Amino acid sequence: FSLSTVKFVEAISILQQKFNNRFQDFKYFQLLANPFNIDVEDISVELLMEIIDLQPQSILKDSFEASPLLFFAELPASFSKIKNIAAKYFSMFGSSYICEQAFSHMKKIKNPYRSRLTDDHLHHVLRASTSNFNVEIEKIINNIQQQKSH
């Protein structure tokens, strides 16, 4: 049983291409970790001008060192590409947390005692359980008009 070297080379080339496609956005992590200490030669052309404009600004650098998340949120509109990349990457973690919480709520809702729960009902119960809306029962009761007897 002999294996062809060509097949291995093809398989490794395909695997390398898949890794490059899957992890192509990792190049932005260094940008988000410290945009003031990144080598401009490693940056794509679309971001180059924004990085070159950003790096010499000491006020923005101080802002970044004080609070990186706040820095990216308050970055001026002239750095829109950097700001968009930061928003995309930082929102991933929040959305993962929200997904995990929704799944946890769904597990609690779908129990053996609620076996007849339809998808539509599950959707509504899940929406109610994950929303931040606070119902003001006292206010609702006070606003109800009393029915007068006939």
Write the pLDDT tens digit of every residue in 77-129. 999 999 998 888 887 766 677 777 777 888 888 777 777 778 788 888 888 87
Kindly state whether residue 28 falls inside one of the protein's structural domains: yes
Best CA proximity match to 32, nearest among 86, 94, 106, 111: 86
Best CA proximity match to 66, nearest among 55, 78, 58, 54: 58
Kindly state whether residue 58 falls inside one of the protein's structural domains: yes
Kindly state whether residue 22 falls inside one of the protein's structural domains: yes
Per-residue confidence (pLDDT) for residue 36, from 0 to 100 = 92
The count of C-alpha atoms lying within 13 angstroms of the C-alpha of 74, restricted to the half-sphere facing its C-beta, is 12
Tell me the pLDDT band of 53, cut-offs 50, 70 and 90: very high
Measured in whole angstroms, how far is the alpha carbon of residue 103 from the centre of its chain?
Answer: 17
Nearest-angstrom CA–CA distance, 142 and 105: 32
Q: What is the token pair recorded at 113?
A: 């005692």
Kindly state whether residue 131 falls inside one of the protein's structural domains: yes
The tally of domains found in the chain comes to: 1
Find all residues with CB under 8 Å of 87, minimum gap 6, and list them.
72
Average pLDDT over residues 46-58: 92
Average pLDDT over all residues of the chain: 83
Kindly state whether residue 42 falls inside one of the protein's structural domains: yes
Which position has the higher pLDDT, 67 or 22? 67
Nearest-angstrom CA–CA distance, 40 and 100: 37
Question: Domain span at residue 70?
Answer: 5-135
Q: What is the token pair recorded at 31?
A: 């940008």
- The residue behind tokens 């997904």 is 99
Kindly state whether residue 143 falls inside one of the protein's structural domains: no
Kindly state whether residue 9 falls inside one of the protein's structural domains: yes
